[in-house]
Amino acid sequence: MPKTKTKFDRIAFVASEMPEAIAACERLGALYGDSDPAEADAIVALGGDGHMLQTLHRFMNDGVPIYGMNRGSVGFLMNDYSEENLRERLADADVSRIHPLSMIAYDKAGKAHKALAINEVSLFRERHQAAKLRILVDDTARMEELVCDGVMVATPAGSTAYNLSAHGPILPINAPLLALTPISPFRPRRWRGALLPNKVRIAIEVLEADKRPVSAVADHFETRGVTRVEVEKARNVELFMMFDPDHSLDERVLAEQFRY
């Protein structure tokens, strides 16, 4: 979706359950009108980063740009809150194109569970024993056995979220890369993950699945007792996130790399 100087006459507001977000939604709706999201020129999400992810998932296939304003506890994906000149801010906003990840998780019965992830696809051990995983990239085994608490595949948009907490790399938002990051690796202990082209297909096989059960999570969609998980870029799905020019997502990702 190219940047255009549309008037944004039709704005839809969606709020999290936080009282501050609900109150802001009511005030903004009274000031600018509150359109049906299906007919809106833009959707304004009021809350924190969690609500922004929920909004992106909710309107995943609608092609409507989403502009977040922070009325929550964490606001990395959100713009500063202001009730003034909203239509002008929307018209001047930079638009970031985001492709989510496609996950197919196979359970012990062989059933395939499909989901999309904007931030990351993660695998976690379910019990006290560490998980044992085999990692394949485009059908070639790159690591025969990773003993760990888990592993994740993160997008550039998600690289500053859980991936960063697990000591994974921060990726520029337009980088054609994915971060493959282990969670508390035990063997090989010093392996810190890999940067992969976003055109590859990653498969993670669970070894000793009965003894060492593993869950797979695509953002907030969880499948338990998986035996194999396949992850790749969802090329046919494109999301549009809007940011104020002086605080674009590119700038936030860059600035995050110099925080200490």
Name the binding residues for NAD(+).
49-50, 119-120, 149, 157, 160-165
Residues 6+ apart with CB under 8 A from 169: 159, 163, 179, 181, 193, 195
34, 41, 49, 219: which is the annotated catalytic residue?
49
Q: What is the DSSP letter of 81?
A: P
Query: What are the respective helix, strand and coil percentages of the chain, to the nearest 5?
Result: 20, 40, 40
Q: Are 135 and 143 in contact (CB under 8 A)?
A: yes
Q: What is the DSSP letter of 187?
A: B
Q: Are 230 and 202 in contact (CB under 8 A)?
A: yes
**Longest CA span, the chain:** 59
Amino acid at 192: R
**Using CA atoms, how far apart are residues 68 and 53, in angstroms rounded to an integer?**
10
**Using CA atoms, how far apart are residues 88 and 98, in angstroms rounded to an integer?**
23
Half-sphere exposure of 152 (CA within 13 A, CB side): 29
Could you confirm whether 244 is annotated as catalytic?
no
Closest CA to 202 of 183, 177, 224, 219: 177
Amino acid at 242: M
Q: Are 101 and 116 in contact (CB under 8 A)?
A: yes
Catalytic residues: 49
